[in-house]
Structure 1
Amino acid sequence: MPDTNLPKVAFLGLGRMGAPMARHVLTAGYDLAVWNRTRDKAEPFGRDGAQVADTPALAAAGRQVVVLMLATPDAVRDVLFDPDAGVVTTAEPGTLVIDSSTIGPTASREVAARLAEHDLRYLDAPVYGSVAPATEGTLRVFAGGDAADFERARPLLGLWGDPDKVDLVGPVGTGSAAKLVVNLTLGTSIAAIGEALRLGRELNLEQSLVDSLIEASPLGAAFPPIKAIMESGKAQPANFELSLLRKDLDLCLAEADDLALTGAAREACQRAIGAGHASDDARALAVLMAGLL
């Protein structure tokens, strides 16, 4: 039975990351309602005691907290503001929306302002980490918003995040900004390793030597998952899809001028996606750039 002393929660978006995050909420004893565009991903939660809603509006009705884990800014806008089935059509005044999606600071501030028109609270709280940390409850969480809203959200954020890595980094939008900085370094590092691998091949160096040079370089910490893809020849299942990396680099480019390296990494992503690798793990980009996959 759910713990009646805990707030009622709706969790919207049960993809690779959202599903394990929502599972922590259910396991912790919260009264949980879930929604996903494809209902089959929600059904396992229903079998374990959650309410499965047909629309975001139905999921949010009577809930004190609504958590979003969606792929794009447009998906967030649709789930929240659809005039027939959006969260704002049923959410009670004072409901806190925790947005764990990666949508960028401009979109986060826009969403917060629109929610405020409905007397709803907003905290942008994107996460850094892949499926394994989400499952283990050890993600890093960058939160942006009011301190009181953060304290209200902290018990939930600490379910899927490492409590020592759940931080309020500033006002609304700064959590999303911090996430973009981190993902920019991820994308450009992957692309840089790809070019290093390709240069090694062009110079006819032994692959083991090239690997050891990269491992000893400033990019060495990013190399093990790339090397694992090289050795296995498998870019799936993906912890973080290449299409999502491209989306995040697009968000970076929309927020700042003169990001030449980011632009080059984004174009490398686009070429790989055009070749049919959208659902591959993002780290496979380096292997593809080197012609090793």
Structure 2
Amino acid sequence: MTTQTPSVAFIGLGVMGFPMAGHLQKNGFPTTVYNRTTAKAEHWSEQYQGAFGTTPAEAAAHADIVFMCVGNDDDVRSVVYGDIGVLANMKKGSVLVDHTTTSAELALELADVCGRQGIQFLDAPVSGGQAGAENGALTIMVGGEPSVFERVEPVMRAYAKASQHIGPHGSGQRCKMANQICIAGVLQGLSEAIAFAQSANLDIDKMISAIQHGAAGSWQMSNRAHTMADDQFDFGFAIDWMRKDLGFCLEEAAKLGVDLPLTQQVDQRYAQLQQRGFGRCDTSVLVKQFDSDDHSCQS
């Protein structure tokens, strides 16, 4: 990587990637993007005055750092491998950073493949959701070589409020799994508290005001309790994606011989909610496990 301002590529312009790539361009890092739908890449280019490629390989051709934020393991492989994948054109000494939440197995696979091509790799899943991406306030948990993290971290500051090196390759993804386990547990407890309070005819606003700054307080309570009580779920992180993440958690736990009973329970509740048509709703729709209303959120 050069000592000058690094050129970067960003692969994947979903609700997270679009603003993340925009922050890179606005912060002075020459950015070339790729998206499966070229029209979206063109729109990004017009909005941020950056470049776009028609293939991942084209976008990555001159980049010192290539960032990715796509859907799942298969999506990552589709933009990494093959004649038009980023590895077909990435130069030796460059860095591939995967912000996708994937399996730890994929992180180890990519680290090995990149290493054999003289390319560095970091698994770097993010937390903070769409709002965090838009506001440049994501939290990033990173697996890989510490020296590579130190080279890339100043660039990631464009869209992150905090970046933490966790350990060797795969550690970033395993940390994200721990993050999702925490969220699942907090949302289950919050859902039960709201169901209990409504049954007891408590004023939900007053209840939240009374407890959110004490030991029961959490980001989920401060940001989702009111909307959960008001049946508003048309924003945030969809349970379709959360079930994908919890699947990684449960698979990794099985390999480690760790029992995750609450995570299994929440995953089952989400599966039932998917069957009722809530798959595209925010994860806080977990509270709907306590009623039979099948009205879906807006997609």
Q: What TM-score do the two structures reach when normalised by structure 2?
A: 0.87
Cα distance in 2 between the residues matched to 1:185 and 1:36: 31
Deviations along 1:155-198, whole A, 9 cap, x unmatched?
Answer: 11111111xx2121111111111111011110122123223434
2:282 maps to what in 1?
281
Output aligned runs, 1:63-102, within 5 Å.
Answer: 63-81=63-81, 83-102=82-101
Specify the alignment match of 1:170 in structure 2.
Answer: 167
Superposed, 1:125-144 pairs within 5 Å as 125-144=124-143
Residue aligning to 2:200: 205
Per-residue deviation at 1:231?
A: 4.8
Residue 228 of structure 1 deviates from its aligned partner by 2.7
Matches within 5 A, 1:224-235: 224-235=222-233
* Root-mean-square deviation over aligned CA pairs: 2.2
CA distance in 2, matches of 1:34, 1:240: 23
Letter in 1 for 2:265: A
- On the 8 A contact 2:94/2:119 being kept in 1, the answer is yes
Gaps (5+ residues) in structure 2? Answer: none
Amino acid at match of 1:191: Q
**Using the alignment, how far apart are the partners of 2:171 and 2:130 within structure 1?**
24
Query: Are 2:103 and 1:104 equivalent residues in the alignment?
Result: yes
Assess if the C-alpha contact under 8 Å between 1:229 and 1:284 holds in 2.
no
Query: Is contact 1:193–1:219 with CA below 8 Å preserved after alignment?
Result: no
Aligned to 1:252: 249
Q: Which letter maps to 1:182?
A: N
Equivalent residue for 1:243?
240
Q: Distance in 1 between matches of 2:41 and 2:229?
A: 35
What are the superposed Cα offsets for residues 98-145 of structure 1, whole Å, 9 maximum, x if unpaired?
Answer: 111111322211211122222221011111112222222221111111
Q: Distance in 2 between matches of 1:13 and 1:209?
A: 40
Q: Sort the Cα spacing of 1:231 and 1:253 in 2 relative to 1 into closer, same or farther, 3 A.
A: closer
Structure 1 CA distance for aligned equivalents of residues 88 and 286 of structure 2: 41
After TM superposition, the score normalised by the length of structure 1 is 0.89
- Contact 1:124-1:173 within 8 A present in 2 as well: yes
Alignment of 1:109-128 (within 5 A): 109-128=108-127
Amino acid at match of 1:230: M
Partner of 1:272 in structure 2?
273
**Contact kept? 1:226, 1:284, Cα under 8 Å:** no
Unaligned 5+ residue runs, structure 1? none
> Per-residue deviation at 1:263?
0.8
Would you say how many aligned residue pairs link Structure 1 and Structure 2? 283
Mapped partners of 1:212, 1:70: distance in 2: 39
Contact persistence 2:205–2:226 (CA under 8 A): no
Is the CA contact 2:60–2:66 (under 8 Å) kept in the aligned structure 1?
A: yes
Query: Residue in 1 aligned with 2:181?
Result: 184
2:62 alignment partner AA: G
- Residue 204 of structure 2 contacts residue 226 of structure 2 at CA under 8 Å; is this kept in 1? no
**Per-residue deviation, 1:262:** 0.7
Query: Shift of residue 26 of structure 1?
Result: 0.6
